[in-house]
Structure formats: structure tokens, C-alpha cells
Amino acid sequence: MPTLPIEVVRQLGLRLVGKALAEFADGSEEIVYMTEAVVMEIQGRSANLQAMVVGDEALIGQMVLGKMDYVVDCKNRRLVGNQARPDQPVLRVK
């Protein structure tokens, strides 16, 4: 799930619509605010998701990349879209 600092939330004029329990990589937990849905666009693909309000950096996260059908190519430091459908994301139903 994406995260946004409160300063960015305010600059964008996003509404806070609730709270949720967030579990961090170190195992700690915190109640955080959630924004209304925001549209995030990366390299021509977009995803519509709520964001957690936490920290001082904007983080994209795996949920956003998955919705856009991207994988991270760590070796070449780039995002790679689904090669079977390079013009649009493929939504998976399981």
C-alpha cells in the first residue's frame, strides 16, 4: 500500500477517510490515517488506491506496482511492464 507524508496529503488536498492498523517491516505496529482514493500514474499506467499517512517519504509499494502490472528489474534499476501486454496492465483474477 502506498504511503504519503502528511505534508503531501495537505498539499494535494486529500481527505482523510479513516484509520487502519499498519505493521512495519521491523514488526512494530501503529494506527495510521488513510486517505481517500488517489490515482497514481507511473510511465503511462495508473492505479487507484487509498494511501496510508505515515513517515516523511512517499513510498509506492508492491500493491501499486502489482496493480500496474510492473515488476522491478533490480539489476538494471528499472520497472518492467508485462511483456505480453506492453500497452496496458493485465488484471489477474484468481
Kindly report, residue by residue over 30-60, the tens digit of the pLDDT. 999 999 999 999 888 888 999 999 999 999 8
**pLDDT of amino acid 90:** 67
**pLDDT of amino acid 91:** 67
**pLDDT of amino acid 49:** 92
**pLDDT of amino acid 80:** 87
CB–CB of 47/64 below 8 Å? yes
pTM assigned to the model: 0.78
Say yes or no to pLDDT of 19 above 90.
yes
Mean pLDDT of 58-87: 85
